[in-house]
Structure 1
Amino acid sequence: MNANRWAIDIDRDDITQARLVEEAREPLAPGQVRVHLDSYAMTANNITYAVFGQPAGLFGNDQGYWDFFSEPGAPGRLPVWGFATVTESAVEGVAAGERFYGYYPMASDAVLTVGKAGPGGFTDVTPRRTTLPPIYNQYQRIEALEGYRAADHDYWPVFRPLFLTGWLIADQFADEGDYGADQILIASASSKTAIGLGFTLKQRPEPRPETVGLTSAANVEALAAQGIYDRVISYDQIMTLNAAAPAALVDMAGNGAVTRVVHSHFGNNLMASIVVGKSHWDAQADVEGLPGPQRQGFFAPGRSQKRIADWGGAAFGAKIAEAWTAFMDVAPRLAAIDTRKGGEAALAAYREMLSGAADPRKGIVVVP
Structure 2
Amino acid sequence: MEIVLCVTGSIAAIESVKLARELKRQGVTVKCFMSDDACGIIHPHAMEFATGQDVVVELTGEIEHVKYAQTDLILVAPATANVISKFAYKIADNPINTLLITAFGHKTPIIFVPSMHESMYTAVERNIQKLKDEGIIFLEPKKEEGKAKFPDIHDITLQALRELCLNSPECQKSNFKGKNVLVSAGATFEEIDPVRGITNRSSGKMGVEIAKDAFIRGAEVTMLCGKMETRVPKLFDVVEVESTAEMQDELQKLLPKTDVFVSAAAVSDFTVDSSAESTGKISSDEDLILKLKRTPKIISSVKEINPKIYLVGFKAEYNVSNEELIESARKRMEESGADLMIANDVAVEGAGFGSDKNEVIILDGNVLTVPLTSKSEIAQRILDKILENL
TM value normalised by structure 2: 0.27
* Higher Rg of the two aligned structures: 2
- Larger RCO: Structure 1 or Structure 2 (Cα < 8 Å, ≥ 6 residues apart)? 1
TM value normalised by structure 1: 0.28
